[in-house]
Structure 1
Amino acid sequence: MLTAIAYGLAIVLNLFCVFIGLRFLLAPQPAAAGYGVPAKTDGAYLTIKGLRDATYGILGLALLLIAGADAEAWFMVIVALLPLGDTLIVLRHGGTKATAFGIHFATAVVMFVSAGLLFAS
């Protein structure tokens, strides 16, 4: 049962990264607003973020499939640094605390929980 929950949560988190990446690639301005800091650029940086997020999601799925739970758990621990950094970015650039902590920090916490479940499975 624990293994199914661990793998299921990891798959959902990775697919969510792919979704976020695709959203930044296909609808960059609304995606940036949802991130917590509206974009004031030509879109190149938003495309970079989209590509980064989608790639991390695909890499996570590949690790889970090919290398197994331990590799995916370490991946989750390391990649959780991204939403922690995003928390600080949103706070530093005038975003709301609700977005910073309710979306980004909470995402990091869920990723650490996912890693713990994967290590335990």
Structure 2
Amino acid sequence: MLTPIAYGLAILLNLLVMFIGARFLLQPEAAATGYGVPAKPNAYLTIKGVRDFSYGVLGLALLAFAGTYAAAWFMLVVALNPLGDTLIVLRSGGPKAVAFGIHFATAVIVLISAALLFAV
């Protein structure tokens, strides 16, 4: 019972990160506003899009080819990204609701995913 939940959550999170990356590549201004720090399209938004998309692909590849232990370590490490995003939004004067309700909450969910993957 735990295995499908662990895999399902990890797959969902990786697909979500791929979606976020694609959004930063295709709609950078709207994506930046949703991130909590509005910005005009520029190279940094493209970099964020590529970074997020590639992290999602890597997470799925680890699940498919390396197994749950490697994927769990990946999720544990990648949780640093939304934690950093929380600080970026707060330091940039962005909405606290976005910083904690989106970015910090995402970090917690990613850590839960890591724990579930370690448990299977």
- Is TM (by shorter chain) over 0.5? yes
Q: For residue 79 of structure 1, report the CA deviation from its aligned partner.
A: 0.2
TM-score, with structure 2 as normaliser: 0.98
- Identity across aligned pairs (percent)? 73
Q: Which amino acid aligns with 1:92?
A: R
Q: Which residue of 1 aligns with 2:70?
A: 71
Q: Which amino acid aligns with 2:10?
A: A
Alpha-carbon displacement from aligned partner over 1:74-98 (angstroms, at most 9, x marks no partner): 0000000000000000000010110
Q: Which residue of 2 aligns with 1:9?
A: 9
Which 5+ residue runs of structure 1 have no aligned equivalent?
none
Separation (CA, whole Å) in 2 of partners of 1:77 and 1:117: 11
Q: For residue 43 of structure 1, report the CA deviation from its aligned partner.
A: 1.5
Q: Which residue of 2 aligns with 1:98?
A: 97
Q: Which amino acid aligns with 1:86?
A: D
Is 2:48 aligned against 1:49? yes
List structure 1 segments (4+ residues) > 6 angstroms apart after TM superposition: none
Separation (CA, whole Å) in 2 of partners of 1:78 and 1:96: 25
Separation (CA, whole Å) in 2 of partners of 1:96 and 1:19: 22
Which 5+ residue runs of structure 2 have no aligned equivalent?
none
